[in-house]
């Protein structure tokens, strides 16, 4: 117990004395954590929006297999009268087969078919992505059991458009990769900076390390004060960064998210776990950095 006290005292004494390198290390960590704190939710928002888009954008209404083009097309007017529907596009059985052929890029499968198994369909576009659920509800009002059932027996199924979503996902995916690459590079650069700063602070105290090993300190005894110092630096740096993030969240993000749906990142990580992860990793990185850098100085 007295030993832990000794380590703590030594670490704090070192921090006070070598204030300049310590502050440099803290600033580096603040910058890194800030970047992470901003980029992680941004990345998650991109991801979250992609998922949402997949469910939205447009609905596909499929006629039954036996229903003819004419029967299905007869429903168009009714669908167009549903509130919030901007546009209804009819896709005949023939057009459906053509699209399938194009998509497969291979005629052999479609040639094997004796008849066209594809149903006629509608592409239903909403006036606003937010109203898709309402339209869907009108297309498939709940039946007596509370399960959705198409308003007409001719309709076999109502589906979300996955094709559109995947296109959008491709674009957001590209953005995500770019963001990830930038984050990765920044992280590597910051780790290098932190490591270098720690190395400087240890170099400034190599005499102390020399004396310690001279009077018979074990390696871990030499190491602990440096590791504790690293923990404190990490905690201070991450704490400062988290405070800045919190200020940004309260003053900028929260007011915006009230007004714009896109900013309200439903699928992003909560603030508290994010903070905990950031602080823990900053402390781990700087403590490990201290411990590893010290190895070199312990090879007396």
Please, which residue, 137 or 218, has the CB nearer to other proteins? Answer: 218
Residues that bind other proteins (CB under 8 A): 2-3, 6, 13, 17, 207-208, 210-219, 221, 300
Helix spans in the chain (H): 2-17, 19-55, 69-73, 76-80, 93-104, 107-112, 132-139, 162-204, 206-214, 219-248, 254-259, 271-298
Please, which residue, 217 or 253, has the CB nearer to other proteins? Answer: 217
Please, which residue, 114 or 207, has the CB nearer to other proteins? Answer: 207
Please, which residue, 36 or 202, has the CB nearer to other proteins? Answer: 202
Contacts 24+ apart (CB under 8 A), 168-172: 168/50, 168/53, 168/54, 168/57, 169/50, 169/53, 169/54, 172/46, 172/47, 172/49, 172/50
Please, which residue, 2 or 108, has the CB nearer to other proteins? Answer: 2
Nearest distance from C-beta of residue 201 to other proteins, angstroms: 14
Q: Which tokens belong to 218?
A: 């074990």
Nearest distance from C-beta of residue 252 to other proteins, angstroms: 45
Nearest distance from C-beta of residue 48 to other proteins, angstroms: 52
Nearest distance from C-beta of residue 216 to other proteins, angstroms: 4
Nearest distance from C-beta of residue 26 to other proteins, angstroms: 21
Please, which residue, 181 or 211, has the CB nearer to other proteins? Answer: 211
d(CA 286, CA 298): 18
Q: What is the DSSP letter of 252?
A: I
Quick check: helix, strand or coil at residue 142?
Answer: strand
Q: Which tokens belong to 254?
A: 């929260």
Contact 172, 49 (CB under 8 A): yes
Please, which residue, 1 or 272, has the CB nearer to other proteins? Answer: 1
Nearest distance from C-beta of residue 246 to other proteins, angstroms: 37
Please, which residue, 185 or 211, has the CB nearer to other proteins? Answer: 211
Nearest distance from C-beta of residue 188 to other proteins, angstroms: 33
Distances in whole angstroms, Cα of residue 291 to Cα of each of 15, 73, 146, 222, 266: 16, 73, 62, 10, 40
Nearest distance from C-beta of residue 208 to other proteins, angstroms: 6
């Amino acid at each position: 117990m007295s030993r832990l006290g000794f380590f703590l005292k030594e670490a704090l004494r070192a921090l006070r004395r070598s204030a300049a390198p310590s502050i440099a290390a803290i600033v580096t960590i603040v910058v890194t954590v800030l970047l992470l704190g901003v980029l992680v939710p941004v990345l998650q928002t991109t991801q979250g929006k992609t998922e949402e888009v997949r469910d939205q954008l447009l609905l596909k209404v499929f006629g039954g297999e036996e229903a003819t083009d004419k029967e299905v097309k007869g429903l168009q007017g009714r669908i167009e009268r549903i509130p919030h529907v901007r546009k209804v596009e009819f896709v005949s059985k023939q057009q459906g087969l053509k699209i399938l052929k194009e998509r497969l890029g291979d005629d052999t499968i479609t040639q094997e078919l004796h008849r066209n198994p594809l149903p006629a369909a509608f592409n239903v576009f909403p006036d606003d992505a937010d109203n898709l659920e309402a339209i869907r509800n009108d297309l498939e009002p709940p039946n007596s059991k509370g399960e959705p059932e198409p308003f007409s027996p001719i309709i076999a199924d109502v589906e979300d458009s996955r094709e559109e979503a995947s296109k959008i996902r491709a674009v957001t995916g590209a953005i995500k990769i770019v963001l990830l690459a930038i984050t990765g590079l920044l992280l590597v650069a910051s780790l290098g900076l932190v490591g270098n700063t720690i190395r400087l602070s240890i170099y400034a105290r190599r005499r102390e390390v020399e004396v310690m090993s001279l009077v018979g300190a074990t390696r871990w005894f030499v190491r602990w004060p440096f590791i504790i110092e690293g923990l404190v630096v990490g905690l201070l740096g991450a704490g400062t960064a988290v405070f800045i993030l919190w200020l940004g969240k309260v003053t900028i993000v929260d007011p915006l998210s009230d007004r714009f749906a896109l900013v309200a990142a439903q699928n992003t990580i909560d603030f508290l776990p994010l903070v905990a992860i950031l602080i823990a990793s900053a402390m781990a990185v700087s403590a490990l950095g201290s411990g590893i850098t010290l190895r070199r100085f312990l090879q007396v």
